[in-house]
Structure 1
Amino acid sequence: MKPIESIVVFEHEKLYFTDEHKKLKLDQALENYYGDGTPFFSLIKNGVKFNQHVGVIKIAQTTIEILPKADHNGKDEWRQLLHDMIRTVWGFEVKVSSSASLKLKKNSILNLYYELYVKEIEYLLHRGLIKRYNRKEGNLHALKGALHFSKHISQNLVHHERFYVKYSHYDVNHEIHRILYKALKLIEQTNSKSDLSSRIGTLLLNFPEMSDVKVTDSTFEKINFDRKNQHYEKALQIAKLLLLNYHPDVSRGKNNVLALMFDMNRLWEQFVYVVLKKNIQHIDIKVRAQQSKEFWRSENGASRMKPDIVLEANGNRIVLDTKWKNLNGNYLPSTEDLRQMYAYHRYFKATKTALIYPGEESKLIKGDYSAIEHDEVTDTLTCGVAFISTHQNIKQWKENIVSFVKDNFLASHKTY
C-alpha cells in the first residue's frame, strides 16, 4: 500500500486512527513505541493525544508532524517558525534560495536535519578527515608493535613466519567517524527526498566504509573535543539526535520509528535567551541563563532554583521566566508559577520579575504581591505577566522580543 506522505497536527491535539492508518500499521507502531516509554504522547481510545512536544515522528515512509501553536497562524507558518526557532537556538546558518524556501513549507523538520547533516559531512570531507591512533591486534608476517605471547604460541606453533602482535595504527577508521558513518547510513535508509538522495550517495562513495558501532548516550559523553576535532561538534550533535531517537522495529523490520521531538517550554526559553543575548547584552547589560542558587538544605542534600533568564542592568536584577502556555484570555498565571517568581524576588534580590508568554498581541499586565503584616519588603514586590506577539516572519518576531524587553524592563523610567 502506498504510504501516507505526511500527517500534520498541532501540539496537544488528538490523532484518531483511520482505516488507512491501520492498514499501514501506524497504530501498532505508535502503541509499541509508547510501550518503550515515550514522553511525547499518550494513548487514547483509537488514537493518541500529543502534549507540549513538537517535531516529527517518522514511521517507515510516513511522517507525523507535530507543530507548535500560539496564535492564529496556520500550519505552513508554524512549520517555518519552528524551523527558524531551532536554527536560532542551535546556531545553524542554512542559506537557501527563494525556491528552496518555498519547498520548505511542504517539508518536515526531519528534512531540515538531514539537510544540515549532509552539509556538515560535505564540509568535513572537503576539509579532510582527521586521523587517530587505533589499537589493533592480529597475525602479521612481520614483527610490529608488541608480541602477544600466549596467542602467538597457540596460533603460530607451526607458522614460524608469523607473529601475533598488538600495535597502533594511525588512520581515519576510529570511533568518531564510525558514528558519523552510521548516521549517514541511517539517513540513506530513511530519506525520502529525491534532491538529497544524490548528495547522500556521493557522500557514501567518498566516505571511507566503517565498521559498525553500538551507540548509546555514554558513547557521546566519552568524546573529548580539542583543537583538532572541534569542527566535528555540530555533525556529532546531529548524529546523536538521529541515532539516539531511532527505534528499529526488530520484530517486523518495516515500522521503524525515528522521532525528533522538542519540548516547546524548553525551546521557547532557549529561543528568548539567545535572541536577548545576541541583541541586548553589552558592557552595561548582562544576560544570563539558568543561574543556580541554593535555597534549601538538609543532611540528605540540597535543593536549588534556576530562573530561565536573569538580566542585570544599572545595578538592577530582572528575572524572566518563560512559559509556553495559552492562558485562554484570562491572563491569570498559575499559583505555582507566581510562588516561583516570589521566591526569585527573595533569593535573587530581583527588582522586577515577569512571566513571559507568547501571544497574539504584546502587552504587560502589572501584578503586585499582597502585603504581609510587618513585612515591608513584600509590599514592594511585583510580578508582571508579559505577552510578546508572535509573527510569521522570524526576524520580526525577534525584534518584537528585543523591543518589548527593552521598553518594559530595561528603560529607566519603567517601574510597572
Structure 2
Amino acid sequence: MLRRNSIQVFEHSFLAIGESGFEKRHFEALSKLNALHNYQYFDLKHNGVVFKQFVGVIQVDGLTIEILPKVDRYESETSANKTKWQKVLIEMLKVTKRLKIQQIGHANVSRQSIHLLDIYFEWFLSEVQLLIHQGLIKQYYKQTGNVKALKGKLEFASHINKNLVHKESFCTTHEVYDKDHLIHQILGQALDIIEHLSKGSYLYSRCKTVQLDFPEVKTINANENTFSKISKSRKTAPYETAISIARLIILNYAPNISSGSEKMLALLFDMNSLWEEYVLIKLKQAAQKRNNGIEVYGQDSKAFWNGVTIRPDIVLKKNGEVVLIIDTKWKNIDQSKPSTHDLRQMYVYNEYWTGKRSLLLYPSNENSLESFYGFEKITKNEHHQCGLGKISVLNSFGQLDDFIGSKIVDIIKD
C-alpha cells in the first residue's frame, strides 16, 4: 500500500491537474524539469502531463510519482496490475545492474511505502550503517586556516592580513588526517537530501538515526566533477556501492530548479535502453550457461555513411561468423506487423553484417517465435530473412531465461 501523496502511473499515460493530488504547482515543477532535460521526459498539455517512455520515480514538493512500464495499453490500471509492473521494473533494474542494484531485493518493501525512491533510500541507509559498523576511514586532506602553532606551509599574505596584531596565530596550509574528507562529505550530502525528501515516512526517523552516528563533516554541493575527484584504493573499496547510490541521488536532485521553490528528485530510465540491456544480459547468461560456443555482443557498430555509423542491439556469433542479429523494440505489436522502418533496418543489418537471419524482439504477454520470412530481392542471389519474436516479461524470470536460451539455440541450429 502506498503512503499518502504517492501516485502510480504507467508510461505513455496522462496525468491531469487535480487528479490524485497532482496540483498546478507540481505541473509547473515538472515543466521546468522537462525543459532542463530538453523536453524528453513528458509532453505537456494545458491541463496535465503525458508521460513518454521514461519510467522510474519523481518526487516534487511532497508528491511522489512512480512511472511504471506496461506492455498492454488496454490493461486496466488496478492496484494489482501496478504492483505487478512495479516488480517487472525492479527485476529489470536488478538484472541490468543499474548502479549495482543487485542488492535491491533486500530492501524492505513490505511497509507503508513501496515506491522506488524508498527502495533506493533504504538501500543507501543500509550501506552507510554497514560502513559505520565496520569503521569509517580517515584520510589526509589539506586545510588552510589560523592555528596556534606553525605547521605546514605559511600563507604569508593571509598571515600578514589576519595576524598583524594577533601574532600568536599562524595562517597555514597543512595536512589533516580525520574523517572530514570528500567521500564522507558526499555521503553527508546524500543523507541531507534523504532527510528532506523522506519526511512523513518511516525512513525519516531511520535517516536521523544514521545522521547521529555519522561524523560531522563540511557541507558541500557535489556535482559531476566532484565524483571524478574520488581516488580509489583498497581502503575506499567498501564505499563503492554507497558512493554509487549517493551519486544517483545527488546528481538527480534539483533543489530550487529554475529559481523556484520546489525540491525535486527524478530517477528516470529510458525503457528502450533498459529493455535492450536486459535482453542482452539474459542472452549472455543463457549462452554462458549452455556453453555452446555462441558469443553474444552488444554495441557492435560499423561505418555506414560519411562518418555515420549503424549498430544492431545484439549480434550473435559462432566460430567468428554472424549467426543472428537481434534488434529489441519496447513496443506492443500484438495486433499488427512490424513497421516498414524496422524491417528496412533489419535488412540493412543483414547486408552489413553478412548475416542470414535477423530477429525483431518485442515485449508481450506471451512467448512466441514466428516463422522467418525472406526479404524479396530482384536479383537471384540467396535472400536473407527476418523473424519476429515476443517475450512475456510477466513470466517468472527463470522461465524467460530458458525461453531465450532454447529458442535462440534452435534458430541457430536450423
* Separation in 2, partners of 1:406, 1:376: 31
Q: Deviations over 1:290-337 (max 9, x none)?
A: 333331364xxx33333322333355532222111112511x222332
Contact 1:284 1:314 in 2 (8 A): no
**1: distance between equivalents of 2:89 and 2:412?**
35
Aligned with 2:335 (options 313, 321, 329): 329
Alpha-carbon distance change, 345 to 138 in structure 1, aligned in 2, over 3 angstroms: same
Unaligned runs of 5+ in 2: none
How far the C-alpha of 1:178 sits from its partner, in A, is 1.1
Which residue identity does 1:321 align to in structure 2? D
CA-to-partner distance for each residue in 1:265-285, whole Å, 9 max, x for gaps?
A: 111112222223334325544
1:233 paired to 2:243: no
- Name 1:320's counterpart in structure 2: 326
Question: Matched residues in 1 for 2:19 and 2:71: separation?
Answer: 31
Letter in 1 for 2:103: E
Match in the other structure for 2:394: 391
Q: Partner amino acid for 1:132?
A: Q
Which stretch of the first structure deviates more once superposed, 50-59 or 278-287?
Answer: 278-287
The counterpart of 2:126, out of the listed 107, 112, 119, is: 119
Shift of 1:413: 7.0
Which ranges of 4 or more aligned residues in structure 1 deviate by more than 6 Å? none
Contact in 2 for aligned 1:408/1:414 (Cα 8 Å): no
Say what the alpha-carbon RMSD is for the aligned residues: 2.8
- What is the rounded CA distance, in whole Å, between the counterparts of 1:185 and 1:349 in structure 2? 55
Q: Is the 8 A contact 2:71 2:363 kept in 1?
A: yes
Query: Which deviates further from its counterpart, 126-135 or 62-71?
Result: 126-135
Aligned to 1:85: 92
| 1:14-413 matched pairs, under 5 angstroms | 14-18=14-18, 21=21, 25-37=25-37, 38-71=39-72, 72=75, 74-90=81-97, 91-96=101-106, 100=108, 102-103=110-111, 107-192=114-199, 194-249=201-256, 253=261, 255-281=262-288, 283-296=291-304, 298=306, 302-313=307-318, 316-317=321-322, 318-330=324-336, 332-374=337-379, 376-377=381-382, 379=383, 381-391=384-394, 396-400=396-400, 402-411=401-410
1:6 aligned residue: 6
Q: Give the direction of change, closer, same or farther, for the CA distance of 1:279–1:130 in structure 2 (3 Å limit).
A: farther
Contact 1:289-1:307 at 8 Å conserved across structures:
no
Distance in 2, Cα, partners of 1:83 & 1:50: 19
- Is the contact made by 2:128 and 2:242 (CA closer than 8 Å) also made in structure 1? yes
For residue 199 of structure 1, report the CA deviation from its aligned partner. Answer: 2.3
SS at the partner of 2:151?
Answer: coil
The Cα of 1:385 is off from its aligned counterpart by 1.2
Give the aligned residue type for 2:351: R
Q: CA separation in 2, counterparts of 1:314 and 1:325? A: 33
Which amino acid in structure 2 is aligned with residue 338 of structure 1? L
Go from structure 1 to structure 2 and tell me whether the alpha carbon gap of 1:77 and 1:11 turns closer, same or farther (over 3 Å shift): same
TM-score (norm 2): 0.86
Distance 1:68 1:158 in 2: 68
Q: Residue 341 of structure 1: CA displacement?
A: 2.2
Provide the rounded CA distance (Å) in 2 between the counterparts of 1:215 and 1:43: 31
Instruction: Return 5+ residue gaps in structure 1 as ranges.
Output: none
**Measured at CA, do residues 181 and 306 of structure 1 come closer, stay the same or move farther in structure 2, by a change above 3 Å?**
farther
